[in-house]
Structure 1
Amino acid sequence: MKNILVTGAGGYIGCILVPKLLAKGYNVKAVDRFFFGMDKLTSHPNLTIIHEDCRKLKEEHFVDVDAVIDLVAISNDPSGEEFKKITYEVNHQSRVNTAILAKKMGAARYILPSSCSIYGFQDKDAIADENTKTNPLTVYAKANEQAELGVLPLADDDFSVVVMRQATVYGYSPRMRFDLAINGMTYGAWENGVIPLMRDGTQWRPMVHVEDTTDVMCLLLEAEANIINGEIFNVGSSRNNYQLGSLAEEIAAALPCEVKIEWYGDPDHRSYRVDFTKIEKMLGWQAKFTAADGALQIYQALENGTLEKTEQTITLNWYKKLIEWQTIIKQVDMYGGILEMKKNVTQEKVASL
């Protein structure tokens, strides 16, 4: 494995993964629309930026690619519900097409970062392993499940396919997200000493630090094909299975400030605990971080000014803002510009009069 193509490379996870791959000596093709800016990835001799929509990838993009990590996604439940059709296009159809193109062009490995959210709601005492019947409740979760079903049958002796069902991710990233549970709780605690928590706090969620899940992606590039091919791995740890009320209490105890919990919304019926025995036994991997570690990391970055909450850090809000700006720009764009006019366009207009 030498040349790696990463979709969604400019996103929350991609901005942690790509530098790790480069540090390990890989050549990386970073594919993204870069909705959140092209400044999140530092230039590198072995980094090739491909500014393209994942739905428009062609065979030429996969020339000399040895492996694909298909991170691209409309990446949370609120965005999925707002943009249902697009979520199926991106999270399901484009990823299956990417896997097909990668196989056709001779890539040896395809890694699909999916989500534990496809377990949806499970019985109170159930702990979901990779064989548990899935129960996706949202568009985001359903699209992930369809992607899994689409790529796994492509596996054969020459093309290894592996699925990562990631727990809910947390921790610092250059493309920061405060619409993730632990990250959002930490910001509330830092900003005004309040952790906002959706009722009723008994719902279970598995969590995984962004550094841990990207370590797994690197591990899956290095693992023997006969061990991982066609496999699904839950990615997280038993220590990071949290009831949200207890999670908020752990975060509050970890931070050097007074914190109270403030409840909001109707009871959240999504609840699932996840078993992570398979990845620990088969690959010998153990998560390094806890929620307290991630919360303190984010708190310190906020304190020292290296991190701030902006419109970009709430995914759905940023998508809506981009669409709003597009509408405004279309209305005022004339002769190839806003205040300035491109000379060649103006001359063509004058010549036509």
Structure 2
Amino acid sequence: MKNVLVTGSGGYIGSVLVPKLLEKGYSVKAVDRFFFGVDKLQPHPNLTVIHEDCRRLNESHFVNVDAVIDLVAISNDPSGELFQEVTYEVNHQARVNTAKLAKKMGVNRYILPSSCSIYGFQDKDAIVDEVSETNPLTVYAKSSEKAEQEVLPLANDEFIVVVMRQATVYGYSPRMRFDLAINGMTYGAWENRVIPLMRDGSQWRPMIHVQDTTDVMCLLLEAEKDKINGEIFNVGSNRNNYQLGPLADEIAAALPIDVRIEWYGDPDHRSYKVNFDKIVQTLNWEAKYTAADGALEIYEKLENGTLAKTEQTITLNWYKELIKWHRVIKEIDMYGGILEIDKKKIQNEIYSR
């Protein structure tokens, strides 16, 4: 397991995972459109950056690849609902195609980071595990479940397939996101001394720090085949199952400032409490971080100026911004430029008339 292809490598999780893999001695093929900038990955002699859309991967991308970590996704519910067709193409169809290409090209191991959101809404007393009935409510969750259902049957003795159902991720990343629960709460507390909280605060969510979930990805690259092949693992910790109201209280208590909670929106009906015993018992892995740890980490970076909220840190806003500027540039582009133009291109067009 020395050569790893990572899709979505410039994203929130990918920009934490790739440096970690390089530090551990892996060679990495980092595949992404890099909507949020290629600068999120620092140059490294064992890093190959591949600017490509996951929907256009082909056999050549998998030559000499030992393992694939298929992170790519339209990565939150608001984006999934606005771009429904694209979300199914990327989160479902492209990931299934990537798994099939990997298997065809002799890749040994395929890791699919999916989501606990596929549990959707559960009875208030239920604690769901990997064999519980799922109930995906959003396009993001439904497309993730479809990907799971089609990649797991590809597993055999030569092709290891494992699914990670990740809890909601939080913590600092070079491609920062403030549209995630704990991150957004922390930013509100830092900026306005207010934690914004969607009503009514009783809904359950499992949480996991981005360092913890990327540690699991590294672990799955080396885990014994018989322990993981064809398996689904909930990735998180029982300690980090939170009702959102008490979660906000924990964040407030962790920060060195006085904050208050401000409610917004209609009640969120997604609620699921997750059992994480399987990963502990099978792989002897436990999460290191709590919500308080992640909140304090983000707060300190905001305080010292190494982190700021920008358009890029709200995923849907940035997609909309890119689409707007793509339209503007297409309308005014002429002869290969805006103010500066390609004179050779003008000459070639004149001569071809």
TM over 0.5: yes
Q: Distance in 1 between matches of 2:93 and 2:64?
A: 23
Mapped pair 1:154 → 2:167: no
TM-score with structure 2 length normalisation? 0.99
Looking at structure 1, the residues matched to 342 and 207 of structure 2 have their Cα atoms a distance apart, in angstroms, of 51
Q: Which residue of 2 aligns with 1:289?
A: 289
Counterpart position of 2:10: 10
1:264 aligns with 2:264: yes
Take 2:78 and 2:244, find their aligned partners in 1: how far apart are those partners? 19
Quote how far apart the aligned CAs of 1:349 are: 3.2
1:128 equivalent in structure 2: 128
Q: Over residues 247-291 of structure 1, what are the superposed CA-to-partner deviations in whole Å (9 max), with x where a residue is unaligned?
A: 000000000111000000111100000000000000000000000
TM-score w.r.t. structure 1 length? 0.99
Once residues 350 and 280 of structure 1 are traced to their aligned partners in structure 2, the CA distance between those partners, rounded to angstroms, is: 69
1:1-353 matches, cutoff 5 A: 1-352=1-352
Q: Secondary structure at the match of 1:127?
A: coil
Point out where structure 2 has 5 or more consecutive residues left out of the alignment.
none
Instruction: Name segments (4+ residues, structure 1) moved above 6 Å.
Output: none
What amino acid maps onto 1:73 in structure 2?
A: A
The sequence identity of aligned pairs, in percent, is: 78
Partner of 1:144, secondary structure, is helix
- For the residue of structure 2 that corresponds to 1:113, the secondary structure is strand
Measured against aligned partners, the alpha-carbon deviations of 1:129-177 in whole angstroms (never above 9, x if no partner) come to 0000000000000000000001000000000000000000000000000
Letter in 2 for 1:150: E
Return the letter of the residue paired with 1:136: P
Structure 2 CA distance for aligned equivalents of residues 352 and 209 of structure 1: 58
Structure 1 counterpart of 2:187, one-letter code: Y
Query: Cα offset for 1:352?
Result: 4.8
CA distance in 2, matches of 1:73, 1:128: 24
- What is the CA deviation profile of residues 24-61 of structure 1, one whole-angstrom value per residue up to 9, with x for unaligned ones? 10010000000000100000000000100000000000
Amino acid at match of 2:147: A
How many Å separate the matches in 1 of 2:98 and 2:302?
A: 37
Task: Compute the displacement of 1:343 (Å).
Answer: 1.4
SS of alignment partner, residue 289 of structure 1? coil
Distance in 1 of aligned mates of 2:202 and 2:211: 27
| RMSD, aligned α-carbons | 0.6
Gaps of 5+ in 1: none
